[in-house]
Structure formats: structure tokens, C-alpha cells
Structure 1
Amino acid sequence: METMTIKELDSKEEIRKAYPLMKQLRTHLDEETYLDLVLEAMENDRYKMAVLYDSNKLVAVTGFKPMITLYYGRFVWVCDLVTDVRNRSNGYGRKLLSFVEKWAKEHQYERIALSSGLHRKDAHQFYEEKMDYYIASYVLKKDFHS
């Protein structure tokens, strides 16, 4: 019997319940800022969130958005993907990322892209060896400080 289910989040309360798990990846965000950013991104940037439950326990969360650029064409950007640190190596990340891939194909997007911090060697190994992703570029950024 399948105990795993995936649900796209659409209510403020569902998004709030995913915060403790998202906090494991986005450690700089407090709950209020997280909620504000998610709701604004959903409203203005087509950001979507989905969670994976195993036996009704929240074990993984992803945030993604469809985009169009001249470099990638029509693609889905995976903004966030985190499996609860206590539940890693159980196939949850693979299942949730496969859900995003399926969503992208069903909505006629040509590819998926994501960024992963340089220090996250385990994540890189997961993406490359288990999910068949490849390194296509570096992501560079510049922070503006007030």
C-alpha cells in the first residue's frame, strides 16, 4: 500500500505548516518573512509549493516556478527542495523532484533548472547521480547592502 502522497499547497495555513521543514534549507528566514515571500511569489511570480507526506507525516517540500528566458527557453526553476534531515535517503527527494518534472512536462516546459550552493556536495551527488542532472553553468550574484 502506497503511504506517500504529494500535495500542491494553496492555502496560507498549508504554507505555514511547511515552514519548519523549509527552515532546514532556508535558515535565514523567520516564519513571517517566509510566509510573506511565499505569498508574494505565488501572486506575482507563479511560484508553487508541493509537499510530500509519508503516512501523513510531512517529510519533504519543494518550491518551483515556470519561467521563460532566452537562455533556457520554457523551463521550470526549482527554487527550493528539502527533505527533513531525519528522513533523508528514503527516496523522498527523488519522488518530489520527479513530481516537479512530471508537472513541467504536463505543462509543456522543455527542461528543469536549479541552483545548489557550492558547499552542498551531497545535494550535487543526488542531482547528478540519482536524478541525471548536469552542471550547465555557475550562478553568480551580487548583494546590495543598505
Structure 2
Amino acid sequence: MTTPHTVAELDDENTALAFEAMRELRQHLTSADEFVAAVRVQRKEGYRLVASFDADGRVVAVAGFRPMTNLYVGFHLYIDDLSTLPSARRQGHGGALLRWVDDEARRLGCEQVHLDSGTHRHEAHSRYFSAGYVIPAFHFSKKV
């Protein structure tokens, strides 16, 4: 039997709690203050943070997402960030966050959830496949 995970949305006042977990994915972030400021800007575009807590009340995994609309899929949730501290991996925190985001997508009237993942993140890809995600396209980018 698995232990239920505590998952809760973070607001402006407690965003900094997610810094350590987010920095595992976004290593360019140098301080909690920088992270909080960046999230504050993104929140103006609908960005939201949800965290999974360990038994001691520490944020060990975090998901950043936003509702968005585009022509190819319509209204959906897009996961910008999903990260778990190495010490908390394989304990169900990522799955708990994905289920929370799925429930929120349904609540908002979205029919799909999308995310991009670095090609080298094989462990994360396994998690996404087991959660029902598929790879419908390649994502291309270039610096200008």
C-alpha cells in the first residue's frame, strides 16, 4: 500500500519553498530570490506552482504549469517544469503531481495536458509514458 502524498498549490508567499526542488531541473537559477521573482513574472501569464511534500513538510517535488490555448490543440494545460529532488525520486511524488495536474485540467475544462522534456531525461520519459503520455511530435528551437 502506498502512502498518500501531500500535494498543494504554492502562492506568492510560499513560492520560495519550491526553490531547491526546482533547481534540480533549472540549474541556471542561482538564488531563491531570483526564482521567486521569475515565478512572479510568469504568474502574470497564468503560471502556477504545485508541490509535493515529504513527511517532514519539505517540498521535494514541484510542477509549474499554465493553461493555454493554441490552434493545434485548443485549450489545454502545459507543464513547463516538473522536478523532484534526487533523494525523493521513485517515491511517487512525480506521479502525485501529474495526477493533481490532470485533475486540475479536468476542473478547468481542458481535454489535454502537454509537456516538453529534454531528450537526455530518460528516467523522466519512463514516468511520463507510465502516466499515459505519448510523443506526438518533435519540438524544434533555435537561437536568434
TM-score (ref. length: structure 1): 0.90
Provide the residue aligned with 1:142 in structure 2: 142
Q: What is the CA–CA distance in structure 2 between the aligned matches of 1:46 and 1:89, rounded to whole Å?
A: 29
How big is each residue's C-alpha offset from its partner over 1:95-139, in whole Å with a ceiling of 9 and x where there is no partner?
Answer: 1110000000011011000000001111111111x2010001111
Q: In the aligned structure 1, how far is the partner of 2:72 from the partner of 2:109?
A: 17
Which amino acid in the other structure matches residue 141 of structure 1?
S
Inter-CA distance 33–143: structure 2 relative to 1 (3 Å threshold): farther
Q: Distance in 1 between matches of 2:7 and 2:61?
A: 9
Provide the C-alpha distance between the structure 1 equivalents of 2:142 and 2:65, rounded to a whole number of angstroms. 22
Report the counterpart of residue 98 of structure 1 in structure 2: 99
Question: Whole-Å Cα distance in 2 between the matches of residues 36 and 143 of structure 1?
Answer: 24
SS in 1 for 2:114: strand
Q: Deviations over 1:50-99 (max 9, x none)?
A: 11112112221010000000011110000011111111111110011100
SS of the aligned residue for 2:123 comes to: helix
TM-score normalised to the size of structure 2? 0.91
CA distance in structure 1 between the partners assigned to 2:89 and 2:54 by the alignment:
12
Contact 2:66–2:80 (8 Å) recurs in 1: yes
> Which residue does 2:7 correspond to in 1?
6
Instruction: Give the corresponding residue for 1:83.
Output: 84
Aligned-residue Cα RMSD (Å) equals: 1.5
1:27 counterpart letter in structure 2:
Q
Q: Is the 8 A contact 2:12 2:40 kept in 1?
A: no
Q: Which amino acid aligns with 1:97?
A: L
Cα distance in 2, alignment partners of residues 3 and 137 from structure 1: 34
Count how many residue pairs are aligned between Structure 1 and Structure 2.
Answer: 141
Question: Structure 1: how far apart are the matches of 2:37 and 2:88?
Answer: 27
Query: Matched residues in 1 for 2:119 and 2:102: separation?
Result: 23
| CA distance in 1 between partners of 2:86 and 2:143 (Å) | 29
Kept in 2: contact 1:82–1:93 (CA 8 A): yes
Q: Match of 2:6, SS? A: strand
